[in-house]
Amino acid sequence: MEYRTLGKTGLKVSRMGCGGIPIQRIDADGTKMLMHRLLEKGVNYIDTARGYTVSEEYLGYGLTGIRDKFVIATKGRGLTKDDMAKDVAQSLRNLRTDYIDIYQFHDPSMESLDRILAPGGALEALMEAKEAGTVRHIGITTHSTEVFRRALDLPWVETIMFPYNIVESQGSELIRACGEKNIGFICMKPLAGGAIEDAALAMRYITRNPDVSVIIPGMASTAELEQNLAAVEDPAPLSDQELEKIEAIRAGLGTQFCRRCGYCAPCTVGIAIPQVFTLEGYLSRYGLAQWAHGRYDTMPAKASDCIGCGQCESRCPYHLPIRQMLKKAAGSFGV
Select from 161, 231, 271, 279 the one that contacts ligand SF4 (CB under 6 A). 271
Question: Does 170 engage in binding with ligand SF4 (CB under 6 A)?
Answer: no
Kind plus residue range of the DSSP H or E element containing 4? strand 3-5
Select from 138, 306, 332, 333 the one that contacts ligand SF4 (CB under 6 A). 306
CB–CB of 147/110 below 8 Å?
yes
Minimum distance between the CB of residue 152 and ligand SF4, rounded to whole angstroms? 24
Sheet arrangement for strand 100-106:
18-19, 45-47, 71-76, 100-106, 135-141, 159-163, 184-188, 214-215
Question: Does 268 engage in binding with ligand SF4 (CB under 6 A)?
Answer: yes
Minimum distance between the CB of residue 317 and ligand SF4, rounded to whole angstroms? 6
Based on CB atoms, which residue is closest to ligand SF4, 80 or 304? Answer: 304
Question: Does 66 engage in binding with ligand SF4 (CB under 6 A)?
Answer: no
**Contacting range for ligand SF4; rule: CB under 6 A; set: 9-17, 29-37, 241-249, 256-264:** 256-264
Based on CB atoms, which residue is closest to ligand SF4, 28 or 272? Answer: 272
In terms of Cβ atoms closer than 10 Å to its own Cβ (0-12, 13-18, 19+), residue 42 is middle
Kind plus residue range of the DSSP H or E element containing 214? strand 214-215
Question: Does 157 engage in binding with ligand SF4 (CB under 6 A)?
Answer: no
Kind plus residue range of the DSSP H or E element containing 47? strand 45-47
User: Which amino acid, 37?
Assistant: R
Question: Does 320 engage in binding with ligand SF4 (CB under 6 A)?
Answer: yes
Select from 259, 296, 332, 333 the one that contacts ligand SF4 (CB under 6 A). 259
- For residue 135, the cross-strand partners are 100
Please report, for residues 33, 110, 324, the alpha-carbon distance to residue 252 in angstroms, rounded to integers and kept in the order given.
37, 32, 19
Kind plus residue range of the DSSP H or E element containing 101? strand 100-106
Minimum distance between the CB of residue 203 and ligand SF4, rounded to whole angstroms? 21
Taking alpha carbons only, the member of 84, 91, 83 closest to residue 59 is 91
Question: Does 275 engage in binding with ligand SF4 (CB under 6 A)?
Answer: no
Question: Does 89 engage in binding with ligand SF4 (CB under 6 A)?
Answer: no
Question: Does 316 engage in binding with ligand SF4 (CB under 6 A)?
Answer: yes
Based on CB atoms, which residue is closest to ligand SF4, 42 or 194? Answer: 194
Based on CB atoms, which residue is closest to ligand SF4, 90 or 112? Answer: 112
Question: What distance in Å separates the CA atoms of residue 299 and residue 265, rounded to the nearest whole number?
Answer: 16
Select from 13, 318, 329, 332 the one that contacts ligand SF4 (CB under 6 A). 318
Of residues 183 through 202, those in contact with ligand SF4 by CB under 6 A are none
Based on CB atoms, which residue is closest to ligand SF4, 35 or 187? Answer: 187
Question: What distance in Å separates the CA atoms of residue 242 and residue 248, rounded to the nearest whole number?
Answer: 10
Read off φ and ψ for residue 265, nearest 5 degrees.
-70, 155
29: Cα within 13 Å, side-chain hemisphere: 0
Based on CB atoms, which residue is closest to ligand SF4, 199 or 330? Answer: 330
**Contacting range for ligand SF4; rule: CB under 6 A; set: 11-19, 83-91, 116-124, 305-313:** 305-313
Which residues lie near ligand SF4 (CB under 6 A)? 258-264, 267-269, 271, 273-274, 306-312, 316, 318, 320, 322-323, 326
